[in-house]
Chains A and B, each alone.
Chain A
């Protein structure tokens, strides 16, 4: 299994508070992705990174920011959490080759009350 760890696995927070989710990899893969998954919507891309300090927006980036200061860590921040951001968040990593697979972390269940 690919070395990818998400933390925390579960979090409950209040509306208006900042939240940071961490994705850590030990594979030295170039690409890292943050997705959210809600019933009826499948996986939706929030932000992704194609290298250290190189990030770009996905489909649903409003209200989220990311940072990648080193290869192994990709942080997702909700500056001021809202109830609509209650979701399951998945991080994924992928190597640089054309046929490299995407490996997912176990997910973070975030509840914003």
Chain B
């Protein structure tokens, strides 16, 4: 089976930094995705990690620890438009079954 845990909701202030955690258990591992989803829209790609460590991409960074089954998404200099759901998805082995966590709904306030 597969277990993925993310906090359900988070709030933060515009201009601040927020870290969204994801813990997972999978059978086999071929990397982990983070996606952003605004209300009423399809999810869009944010990051992919397959090796341990931090991947930085502008205001967004993603970290992976394979041995701990742990990842986080770091959002810096928060903007109002960052209010969205953030979805974590580890890729299991074999035929690349892709299951998402329930998502973290982030609300950014002025």
A residues engaging B (CB < 8 A)?
A: 31, 33, 35, 40-45, 48, 50, 54, 56, 58-59, 90, 92, 94, 98-99, 101-107
Decide yes or no: A50 and B102 within 8 Å by CB, A42-B87, A101-B45 being known contacts.
Answer: no
Decide yes or no: A56 and B98 within 8 Å by CB, A43-B87, A98-B30 being known contacts.
Answer: no
Let me know if B102 and A41 touch, CB within 8 A: yes
| Other 7 A-B pairs with CB < 8 A, given A31-B98, A35-B100, A58-B97 | A40-B102, A41-B102, A45-B100, A58-B99, A59-B99, A101-B33, A106-B42
Let me know if B50 and A43 touch, CB within 8 A: no
B48 within 8 A of A: yes
Could you write out 13 A-B pairs with CB less than 8 Å apart? Answer: A33-B98, A42-B87, A42-B102, A45-B97, A48-B95, A54-B95, A56-B97, A58-B97, A90-B43, A94-B96, A98-B30, A99-B31, A102-B33
How far, in whole Å, are A104 and B45 apart by their CA atoms in the complex? Answer: 9
Residues of A within 8 A of B35 (CB): 102
Interface of A is mostly: strand
Let me know if B48 and A45 touch, CB within 8 A: no
Residues of B within 8 A of A104 (CB): 42-44
Let me know if A48 and B48 touch, CB within 8 A: no
Residues of A within 8 A of B48 (CB): 99, 101
Interface of B is mostly: loop
B90 within 8 A of A: no
How far, in whole Å, are A98 and B33 apart by their CA atoms in the complex? Answer: 11
What distance in Å separates the Cβ of A66 from its nearest Cβ neighbour in chain B? 14
Query: Contact check: which of B30, B95, B98, B102 meets A102 at CB < 8 Å?
Result: B98
Let me know if A48 and B42 touch, CB within 8 A: no
